[in-house]
């Protein structure tokens, strides 16, 4: 599970049927200092996150389970919106 | 499993089902000598691990659910499964 920043929305009309009604967000993975760490991905968002917000996302099968439907193809999903991060001083 | 050091905690009130009332820890992977390696990640605490603890993390859903043992936690994949006292090599 990683930190990410919502940097955009993804709109698609021609897609697999099970994506119908799903909100897709563009996420820039971040490290704990909130610096970019890796390429942007697209995740399903069921928590109404907004652009610019810091979130955390999970990948693989568990991500798809946030869509509580029979058919839920998805491999990344927002699992929470970050209010605060408390880091130890030394790294 | 991966060796990691707990370097922080995450506060968030808006969460997916199964993540509520669970501590979310920031984990920095470390090599057996304890020096930092790779990129940090997040894990759900299952053993009351605290900041600066050396821990073992599992990043696999089936194991995560056995560790968390909560029917709602079906979206959890990354968990802290143990606090490491010592590594001898």
Q: What CATH number is given to the structural domain containing A27? A: 2.40.50.220
Residue A67 lies in a domain: yes
**What string of DSSP letters covers A23-50?**
-EEEEEEE-TT--B-S--EEEE--S---
* Residues A5 and A51 sit within 8 Å (Cβ to Cβ): no
> Does residue B1 carry a pLDDT above 90?
yes
Give the separation between CA B82 and CA B49, rounded to whole angstroms: 8
**Domain carrying residue A11:** 2-81
Contacts of A87 in chain B (CB under 8 A): 7-8, 26
- Nearest CA to CA, how far is B88 from chain A (Å)? 23
Determine the pLDDT at residue A90.
55
* Residues B2 and A79 sit within 8 Å (Cβ to Cβ): no
**Residue B84 φ then ψ, to 5°:** -90, 125
Determine the pLDDT at residue B79.
98
Residue A88 lies in a domain: no
Residues 17-76 in A contacting B (C-alpha not used; CB under 8 Å):
31-32, 37-38, 46-47, 56, 58-63, 65-66
Determine the pLDDT at residue B86.
93
Residue A75 lies in a domain: yes
Query: Are A91 and B36 a contacting pair at CB < 8 A?
Result: yes
What would the pLDDT profile of B23-69 be if each residue is shown by its tens digit?
A: 999 999 999 999 999 999 999 999 999 999 999 999 999 999 999 99
Pick B12's closest partner by Cβ from A38, A59, A82: A82
Structure tokens at B81: 């499964």
Complete domains list, chain B, with CATH: 2-83 (2.40.50.220)
Determine the pLDDT at residue B62.
93
Residue A27 lies in a domain: yes
Query: Are A77 and B16 a contacting pair at CB < 8 A?
Result: yes
pLDDT in tens, chain A (91 residues): 999 999 999 999 999 999 999 999 999 999 999 999 999 999 999 999 999 999 999 999 999 999 988 889 999 999 999 999 999 965 5
Determine the pLDDT at residue A26.
98
Residue A39 lies in a domain: yes
Query: Are B77 and A81 a contacting pair at CB < 8 A?
Result: no
Residue A90 lies in a domain: no
Residue A87 lies in a domain: no
The number of distinct structural domains making up chain A is 1
Among candidate residues B46, B4, B51, B57, the one with its CA nearest the CA of residue B21: B46
**What string of DSSP letters covers B6-18?**
EEEEEE-SEE-TT
Among candidate residues A41, A49, A69, A2, the one with its CA nearest the CA of residue B77: A2
- Nearest CA to CA, how far is B16 from chain A (Å)? 5
- Nearest CA to CA, how far is B43 from chain A (Å)? 6
Pick A62's closest partner by Cβ from B7, B11, B77: B77
Residue A57 lies in a domain: yes
């Amino acid at each position: 599970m990683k930190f990410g920043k919502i940097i955009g929305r993804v709109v698609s009309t021609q897609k697999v049927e099970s994506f119908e009604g799903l909100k897709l967000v563009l996420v820039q993975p971040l490290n704990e200092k909130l610096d970019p760490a890796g390429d942007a991905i697209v995740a399903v968002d069921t928590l109404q996150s907004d652009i610019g917000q810091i979130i955390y996302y999970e990948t693989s099968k568990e991500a798809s389970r946030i869509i509580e439907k029979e058919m839920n193809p998805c491999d990344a999903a927002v699992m929470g919106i970050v209010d605060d991060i408390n880091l130890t001083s030394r790294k | 499993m991966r060796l990691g050091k707990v370097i922080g905690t995450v506060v968030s009130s808006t969460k997916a089902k199964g993540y509520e009332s669970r501590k979310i820890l920031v984990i920095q992977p470390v090599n057996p000598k304890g020096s930092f390696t790779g990129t940090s990640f997040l894990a759900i605490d299952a053993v009351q691990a605290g900041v600066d603890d050396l821990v073992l993390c599992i990043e696999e859903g089936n194991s995560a659910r056995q560790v968390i043992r909560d029917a709602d936690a079906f979206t959890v994949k990354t968990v802290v499964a143990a606090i490491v006292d010592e590594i001898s090599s």
